[in-house]
Amino acid sequence: MLASHPTNEVLKARVHDLESMLAAVMKMDARTGERASILFIMNLTGLKMDRNVMTLVSSALSSIAAFMADHYVELIHSFILVNVPSFIHVLWTVVHPLLPERTKNKV
């Protein structure tokens, strides 16, 4: 994705997604009278280790995680990653300490 789209465009797209999710959750809150949240499932099929992945992890993902922690803390209940390639464990070891505590507990 980063090979064809600048990081700031990726971030704008994620903010748009978050705002859409927030609107849907707020509608559900109003309809049911109960607190709703998002279970975010991300399929990593086909993800390969390359420089673009490292750029994404080191810049875009850390920025969006911090932004989400500041502005959408209650929106995402938890993240589930499926079809995770083995190299993600190494990346997670690097990224995990940089995440806010609430975010760490959701993955």
Q: What is the pLDDT of residue 59?
A: 65
The CATH number of the domain where 39 resides is what?
3.40.525.10
Give burial (CB, 10 Å; 0-12/13-18/19+) of 94: exposed
Q: Is residue 71 part of a domain?
A: yes
Q: Is residue 72 part of a domain?
A: yes
The whole-model pTM stands at: 0.64
Please calculate the CA angle 88-93-99 and round it to the nearest 5 degrees.
Answer: 105
Within-domain flag for 57: yes
Residue 1 placed within a domain: no
Q: In this predicted model, what pLDDT tens digit does every residue of 68-104 receive, in sequence order?
A: 778 887 888 888 889 988 888 887 887 778 777 777 7
19 lies in some domain? yes
Q: How many residues does the chain have?
A: 107
Q: At 14, give phi and psi (nearest 5°).
A: -65, -40
Please count the structural domains in the chain.
1
- Containing structural domain, residue 19: 7-104
How do residues 4-29 score in pLDDT, each as one tens digit?
667 778 778 888 998 999 999 999 99
